[in-house]
Amino acid sequence: MRGQRSRWSVGHCAVAGVVVLAAWSLPTATRTEVSKSITLSPATYGEVGVSCPHGEHVAFGGYFGDYRQTSLVSRSSLVMGMWPDTTTKWSVSGYENESPAAKEKGTLTSIGYCEKGAAPTIVKGATVKVAADHTGAALAQCPRRTVVVGDGFSITKRSGFGIAALVTELHRTSSRVIEVSVLAYNDSSVTAYALCGAGAAPVETVVTQTMAARGGGSVAADCPSGKSLVFGGLSAQDGEHAPSPAVFPFSMKATAAGLAVSGYNASLTTPGGLTAISYCR
């Protein structure tokens, strides 16, 4: 089921099981935002994908994991991956971090940004194993004479209660390489994805915000004047060490000016940081 097309606005709207489309314009291209949400029962893993309209391909993507905070505890649909399944489909995976006995459900949303023209080449990097209570990183490299124009990652699910790992950083290390870093709760593995295309390498804009203990918020990285967002990345600077990462990035999506990342610092006493990275041209 498709929603109505409308001019793009900064807000995000998605209804469980419903595909929502919104057209929005940039200085260099017109893109369509496509989103779909699913409901996750307590202590369950799920995946949700969205497909681009006919004649369009995935340019890049984002995600939203439902977050709930009470005076005592925090609960969230923790995102474990976002990646291009094909040149026309964007997928997101996550785990509902609620005890099996709980009744409250969560929501997981996949957000794809689609456009016309030549589709980028998808490169899936080697899968890297990460031992419990350790950090690890995986790379994806674009072919020669191409540059990174999009990114993604995927963390393997595990059987039983508990998440395998959480992403702590997703960024470009060079014009051709994407790196994703994770902190593992349990033995897991991670894979990086790069979307590769022609043209000049996008320029990077980085903005970091300090997050107080038991505090949440959003940070936005706007593109320089005259440039528009190509894709984005993030970094969560934990206020605590493994195996208990403090800052959880539960949302990454485009804005009218660049990229916004939202997160929550679950530490009781230690400040953390959250970084949004926009790649623009």
Q: What architecture does CATH give domain 1-119?
A: Sandwich (2.60)
H-helix or E-strand spanning residue 81: strand 74-86
pLDDT for 27: 40
Residue found under tokens 């009744």: 103
pTM above 0.85, yes or no: yes
What tens digit of pLDDT does each residue of 31-62 get?
Answer: 999 999 999 988 889 999 999 999 999 999 99
What tens digit of pLDDT does each residue of 232-247 get?
Answer: 999 998 655 444 456 8
The domains of the chain are located at 1-119
CA distance 166 to 78: 8
Residue 56 burial by CB count (10 A; 0-12/13-18/19+): exposed, middle or buried?
buried
Name which of 47, 190, 177 is nearest 123 in CA terms: 177
CA distance 15 to 192: 28
Cα torsion at 106, 195, 235, 173 (round to 10°)? 160
Strand partners, 220: 260
